[in-house]
Chains A and B, each alone.
Chain A
Amino acid sequence: QQQVKQSPQSLIVQKGGISIINCAYENTAFDYFPWYQQFPGKGPALLIAIRPDVSEKKEGRFTISFNKSAKQFSLHIMDSQPGDSATYFCAAGANNLFFGTGTRLTVIP
């Protein structure tokens, strides 16, 4: 059973556009929701994370929106750049993390 569902599987965005990736979770005990960025051949890098006591968190061009009642959260990348082209994973958990299946983002110059 997939604890965290992520969509879309792939995303193509023009440079300067907004990239939006969505995740949904089932377990209401989850209290930590990070996003990771992974480049080919590298380990995932922690990008930004949120706890359920806030509905939004922004760090630079990256924003997490969190909807506790809907059990959904999303990553918004503003002013997307070609260097943002990577695979993005959402995760959720309490004592350990359950990962989504990833979104391959391609930002076209």
Chain B
Amino acid sequence: NAGVMQNPRHLVRRRGQEARLRCSPMKGHSHVYWYRQLPEEGLKFMVYLQKENIIDESGMPKERFSAEFPKEGPSILRIQQVVRGDSAAYFCASSPYREGYEQYFGPGTRLTVT
């Protein structure tokens, strides 16, 4: 059973460009969570999605950030007009349970904004 897959693993963008981060959950998992991790810090919750639905986006910045989890295909975290402060590691996690239990993390995407 393959784990959570994320791509790309490393992404470099210039200020003002768009960043698209992809996450394929574990087989059988229909709940996806996105987190951001700054150097030497813990993970900060961003958004929780089920197929075709955003369940909780309370941790998402109000502007430039969006997420989706379509019926087919991976979940996408999209950052428009990136700024230097967006540089971080972005992790997604998947779970077979609705309540946030047993979240399994992918390897992360390290975004660098130059």
Binding site for B on A (CB under 8 A): 6, 31-32, 34, 36, 42-46, 49, 89, 93-102
Q: Are the C-beta atoms of B104 and A96 separated by less than 8 Å?
A: no
Q: Are the C-beta atoms of B42 and A99 separated by less than 8 Å?
A: yes
In the complex, how many residue pairs between chain A and chain B have their CB atoms under 8 Å apart?
61
Say whether B44 faces chain A, with CB atoms less than 8 Å apart. yes
B103 in complex: contacting residue of A31, A42, A97, A102, CB < 8 Å: A97
**Chain A residue nearest in CB terms to B105:** A43
Q: Are the C-beta atoms of B105 and A44 separated by less than 8 Å?
A: yes
**Chain B residue nearest in CB terms to A3:** B45
Of A45, A93, A95, most B-chain CB atoms within 10 Å: A95
Q: Which residues of A contact B40 (CB under 8 A)?
A: 102
Q: Which residues of B contact A102 (CB under 8 A)?
A: 40-42
Q: Are the C-beta atoms of B108 and A98 separated by less than 8 Å?
A: no
Instruction: Give 9 A-B pairs besides A43-B107, A99-B45 with Cβ atoms closer than 8 angstroms.
Output: A6-B42, A32-B99, A32-B101, A34-B102, A43-B6, A44-B105, A45-B105, A93-B100, A94-B99
Say whether B48 faces chain A, with CB atoms less than 8 Å apart. yes
Q: Are the C-beta atoms of B56 and A96 separated by less than 8 Å?
A: yes
What separation, in Å, do the CA atoms of A94 and B99 have in the docked complex?
6
B100 in complex: contacting residue of A6, A36, A45, A97, CB < 8 Å: A97
